[in-house]
Amino acid sequence: MEGTMCSCRQLLLEVYDKMNCDDFRILTFLAKDRVNRKRRKENENILDFFDLLERKAIIKCGPEEIDLWFLKQAFLLIGRNDLVSTLVRVGRGSCKQPEEGLFVNIRRKLLYQVGEETGQEELQNLKAYLSSKVGVGKRTLDLIQDVWDCLDVLEERLSDSEMFPLLKTVYAGDKNLSGLLDDFIKGIAIVGATGGQTDKAPVQEVGEHVQAQTHALGTQVEDRTGSEEATFDPTPSGGSTMTADGALSGFSATTLPSRLGAYDKGKNAGICIIFNNEIFANTNTHPTRNGTNKDRDLLEYSFKLFGFDVRVYNNTTCQEISYILGEIQQIDHKDNGALVVCTLSHGNLNVVSGACGQDLLINSMTSLFRADNCPSLAGKPKFFIFQACQGKDTQDVWHQTNAPVMAESDTNLFPNSPMAEVMTEVPHLHQLNLAPAEADFLIAHSTMPGYVSFRNDKGSFFVQSLVKHLKAHSPREDVISILVEVNRDVSQTIGQTSGGQIAAQIPEPKVRLTKKFYLFPVETEV
């Protein structure tokens, strides 16, 4: 145990060496609910602050127990994945549920989001409101150096019922942030799902029946099948056939359209990671995901067909997912054509759930493979597939096309559930493609932000449809065109809640590719 404790202390020293002043300032802000303002001002040294967190049992680094969950979550939130990777080296794989209070709650995360969205113009507006609306004097205003100081003063002077409406007024021009603030003001525990409803019953998938996972405050919901059968048929549709070695007959790479150019398929297809979470630590908040193993097996079969080195991980915690992806990041991908990461789990807006029951930022997964973080994958397609809910609302339909089917969902949001507080920021689509390091990503979500994604005991309609169309149309069509086919397929499947409400689902691909991306069946048996 002494060796483990020393290792823990050493890692905290490594983290200290890598942190900058901004990281420290934000960390103290995120810990504010547990450490009062006066004590934070007195502890300007990062190591002293770590000691203070340990004395208050916010983190533990002793011989009997090591618990760095708070720091890991905070560093994930601020995008310091390198610090998370450092901390993961201690206690990796534990699925123990940490104390709820040790996590950054939804209120603190929302204020952090406000801080992150604040530029110089917004900061001046905030200070003007502090002067005119809150009555803060010039001496105090002169001491405000950044937005975090501003938020400190607001929290000291105003109640939440006063502060959040004021913030909404200041940020009225920011549609995403204004929606977040409005939801919080309304008491909706879905950060980012603007106007989301709170007590939706589970949707049932078309033509498929499962025993509903009920909960005292509502059940979960997931995907649907399309008008075509969603289960995987090894024979491609449209008359295409497979040759004995697994290659599609009648297609050739030399005949592909090239107006935009195509990514090089590489000496090797690449690595495909599949995270398949079926069973969770707390089945009350995260019911068992029946049917997910069908999705896992089809994805594994399909990407092996396309020549990928497929690695499957079942029931992985957030720590394990971060560690595994960190290991993949360190691999030399120079001979690989692409990277594929499939995550099948419960989820919410911008997060997926680990088997431990906690949430992991999707951005923390994808950003590991930015061009500046993983140079050997620069200029190569990174294909992320997420079969998970992005909220708990159900999509409405304007007409009914098919008979509705029973299903359950992969959302983890139950009103008043502790898990409902593990939330993250809203996506900013206008920021995509702004930096070259962010290029060459294709992120395929099974549903739109704010909404549930459906699944039943035969698997999810999104994954089933995706596998079917990839196999039927590659390499005649590029992956983006195939995802549009999947959108059409899934959108034609109509779900129905136990109360008879009709609901629909449409997937959402996020495209940052700069060329056409094709998948090629290999010429060897799988």
- What is the average pLDDT value for the chain, to the nearest integer? 74
pLDDT for 396 equals 54
Asked if residue 516 is part of any domain, the answer here is: no
pLDDT for 495 equals 60
Query: What CATH number corresponds to the domain at position 79?
Result: 1.10.533.10
SS3 345: coil
Q: Which of 168, 138, 165, 136 is nearest to 152 (CA)?
A: 136
pLDDT for 34 equals 80
- Of 159, 185, 211, the last residue of a domain is 185
Query: What CATH number corresponds to the domain at position 278?
Result: 3.40.50.1460
pLDDT for 252 equals 40
- Assess whether 174 and 224 both reside in one domain: no
- Assess whether 371 and 331 both reside in one domain: yes
- Assess whether 111 and 209 both reside in one domain: no
Asked if residue 439 is part of any domain, the answer here is: yes
Q: Which two tokens stand for residue 36?
A: 């009062």
- Assess whether 170 and 303 both reside in one domain: no
Q: State percent of the chain over pLDDT 90.
A: 30
- Assess whether 176 and 264 both reside in one domain: no
pLDDT for 510 equals 93
- Assess whether 232 and 308 both reside in one domain: yes
Asked if residue 518 is part of any domain, the answer here is: no
**Which of 104-113, 234-243, 508-517 has the highest average model confidence (pLDDT)?**
508-517
Asked if residue 190 is part of any domain, the answer here is: no
- Assess whether 155 and 236 both reside in one domain: no
- Assess whether 50 and 147 both reside in one domain: no
How many domains would you assign to the chain? 3
Neighbours of 229 (CB within 10 A): 14
- Assess whether 384 and 468 both reside in one domain: yes
Residues 164-187, mean pLDDT to the nearest whole number:
82
pLDDT for 41 equals 53
Decide: residue 19, CB within 10 A, 0-12 exposed, 13-18 middle, 19+ buried.
Answer: middle
Where is average pLDDT lowest: 299-308, 382-391, 498-507? 498-507
Asked if residue 241 is part of any domain, the answer here is: yes
Q: State percent of the chain over pLDDT 70.
A: 69
- Assess whether 132 and 211 both reside in one domain: no
Residues 218-236, mean pLDDT to the nearest whole number:
36
Q: How far apart are CA 202 and CA 286, in angstroms?
A: 14
Q: Is pLDDT at 224 greater than 90 in this prediction? A: no
**Which of 180-184, 306-310, 416-420, 430-434 has the highest average model confidence (pLDDT)?**
306-310
Where is average pLDDT lowest: 290-294, 296-300, 432-436, 490-494? 432-436
pLDDT tens digits for range 442-493: 999 998 887 777 777 788 889 999 999 999 999 999 999 999 999 998 887 6
pLDDT for 189 equals 36
Residues near 108 by Cβ (< 8 Å), separated by ≥ 6?
A: 29, 30, 32, 33
Residues carrying an active site annotation: 346, 389
Q: How far apart are CA 422 and CA 106, in angstroms?
A: 6
pLDDT for 502 equals 65
- Of 185, 211, 229, the last residue of a domain is 185
- Assess whether 225 and 177 both reside in one domain: no
Q: Which domain holds residue 69?
A: 2-91
Q: How far apart are CA 144 and CA 137, in angstroms?
A: 11
